[in-house]
Structure 1
Amino acid sequence: MKMYDKAVRDGIPDIIRAEGKRCVVEQVSDDEFLGYMESKLFEELNEYTETKSAEELADLLEVIYRVAELRQTGRDELEMIRKKKSETRGGFKENLILVSAEE
């Protein structure tokens, strides 16, 4: 049996079992799961970097939403924070690259 020790979506164990395979899963506390999900951020970012697919971007969002939730910030609050920051500091729509700035 291959060892993983990583966070997976809730339906993954059922999918593995439906394929006639065995798997061992463990349910952990929110505090412990947060560490796994923060590692999952990097995994999903790397997958997006390799594939550039919308599916991987969606996976990244799903992980971000769960990390925010585990840190007591809901999707609505996260979106409000994003909008406020965009209003005060701007977004990324103008494709600006800072080349130099006076210190």
Structure 2
Amino acid sequence: MKKYDKLVRDLIPEVIKKDGKECDVYICGKAEFTKRLEDKLQEEVNEYLEEKNLEELADVMEVLFGLAENLGYSENELLKKREEKLKDRGGFKKGIVLQGVK
């Protein structure tokens, strides 16, 4: 059996079973879940930095939604907070680099 020991998307066990294979899984507790989500975020960011594609960006976003929920926030609350910050401080679309303030 190939070993992984990593957090996977919720439907992965079913995908594996539909493929005619077996897998060992368990549901981790909140503290472990937080740590594994943070590890997964780093993994997905690294994959984005290598691949630079929309699929990897979507994976990063999904982990962010998981982290938000783990902290007690909904996806909508995270998106609302993003919109508030976008309105108040702007986004990252123009490429502005702050070099100093006098």
Matched residue type, 1:77: E
In structure 2, C-alpha distance between the alignment counterparts of 1:10 and 1:78, rounded to whole Å: 20
The runs of at least 4 consecutive aligned structure 1 residues that moved more than 6 Å come to none
In structure 2, C-alpha distance between the alignment counterparts of 1:74 and 1:27, rounded to whole Å: 20
Show the counterpart of 2:47. Answer: 47
CA shift at 1:82, angstroms? Answer: 1.1
Matched residue type, 2:23: C
In structure 2, C-alpha distance between the alignment counterparts of 1:76 and 1:14, rounded to whole Å: 27
Can you give the 5+ residue segments of structure 2 that lack an aligned partner in the other structure? none
**3-state DSSP class of the match of 2:24?**
coil
CA shift at 1:52, angstroms? Answer: 1.1
Show the counterpart of 1:13. Answer: 13
Compute the TM-score of the two structures, normalised by the length of structure 1.
0.87
Where do 1:13-92 residues align within 5 Å? 13-92=13-92
In structure 1, C-alpha distance between the alignment counterparts of 2:60 and 2:71, rounded to whole Å: 16
| Deviation sequence 1:38-94 (CA, Å, 0-9, x none) | 110011111111111111111111110010000011111111211111222221122
Compute the TM-score of the two structures, normalised by the length of structure 2.
0.87
In structure 2, C-alpha distance between the alignment counterparts of 1:87 and 1:11, rounded to whole Å: 36
Q: What RMSD over aligned residues (CA atoms) do the two structures have, in Å?
A: 1.6
Matched residue count: 102
In structure 1, C-alpha distance between the alignment counterparts of 2:75 and 2:21, rounded to whole Å: 35
- Percent identity reads 45
In structure 2, C-alpha distance between the alignment counterparts of 1:17 and 1:2, rounded to whole Å: 15
